[in-house]
Structure 1
Amino acid sequence: MSKEESAASAVTNVIEQNVDVLNDSVKWLSENQDLIISYSMNIIFAIATLIVGMMVARFIAGTLHKVLTKRKLDNTIIDFVSHMVRYVIIAFVIIAALGRIGVETTSFVAIIGAAGLAVGLALQGSLSNFASGVLIIALRPFKAGEYIEAAGTAGTVESVQIFSTTLTTPDNKFVVVPNSAILGGNIVNYSRKPTRRIDLIIGVSYNADLAKTKAVLEAVLKANDGILKSPEPLVAVAELADSSVNLVVRPWVNGPDYWRVRFELMEAIKNDLDEAGIEIPFPQMDIHMNK
Structure 2
Amino acid sequence: MNEKETISSFENYLHKITTSLIDYSPKLISALLILIVGLYAIKFINRMIRKLMQKRGFDPTLTQFLEDIFLWAMRILLFVTFISKLGIETSSFVAILGAAGLAVGLSLQGSLSNFAGGMLIIMFKPFRVGHTIEAQGVTGTVREIQIFVTKLTNANNQTIFVPNGILSNGTIINYSMEGNRRADLVFSVSHDTNIKTAKEILMTVMQNNPTVLKNPEPTVIVKNLTDSSVQLAVRPWATLEDFFQMSSDVLEECKEAFEKAGIVVQPYVREASVVRK
Same fold (TM > 0.5): yes
Selected match of 2:60 from 69, 73, 91: 73
* CA shift in 2, pair 1:154/1:68, >3 Å: farther
Q: Give the Å deviation of 1:196.
A: 0.8
Q: Partner residue of 1:190?
A: 175
2:127 maps to which residue? 142
- Whether 1:127 and 2:112 are equivalent positions in the alignment is yes
Q: Quick check: 1:243–1:284 contact (8 Å CA) kept in 2?
A: no
Contact 1:61 1:83 in 2 (8 A): no
Paired residue for 1:202?
187
1:160 correspondence with 2:135: no
| 1:263 and 2:248 correspond | yes
Map of 1:174-189 to 2, 5 A cutoff?
174-189=159-174
For normalisation by structure 1, the TM-score amounts to 0.68
Q: 1:88 aligns with which of 73, 78, 91?
A: 73
Q: TM-score, normalised by structure 2?
A: 0.71
After superposition, the CA RMSD in angstroms is 3.7
SS of aligned partner of 2:242: helix
- Given candidates 248, 257, 261, the residue that maps to 1:272 is 257
Q: Residue 60 of structure 1 contacts residue 86 of structure 1 at CA under 8 Å; is this kept in 2?
A: no
| Post-superposition CA distance 1:241-284 (Å, at most 9, x none) | 23211121112111111011100111111111122122322338
Equivalent residues in 2 for 1:1-291, closer than 5 Å: 57-58=42-43, 60-66=45-51, 67=53, 71=58, 73=60, 79=64, 81-92=66-77, 109-282=94-267, 283=269
Distance 1:285 1:251, change over 3 A: closer
Letter in 2 for 1:263: S
8 Å CA contact retained: 2:205, 2:250: yes
| Structure 2 unmatched ranges of 5 or more | 1-30, 273-277
Deviations 1:171-200 (A, max 9, x none): 121222222232232222222322111111
Report deviation, 1:149.
2.0
C-alpha separation in 2, matches of 1:127 and 1:284: 47
TM-superposed deviation, 1:237: 1.4
The structure with the largest alpha-carbon Rg is 1
Letter matched to residue 214 of structure 2: K
My pick for the range that moved more, 270-279 or 212-221, is: 270-279
Tell me the secondary structure at the aligned position of residue 118 of structure 2. Answer: helix
Deviation at 1:122, TM superposition (A): 1.2
The runs of 5 or more residues in structure 1 that have no matched partner are 1-45, 287-291
Q: Residue deviations 1:204-236, cap 9 Å, x none?
A: 111111111111111111111111111111111
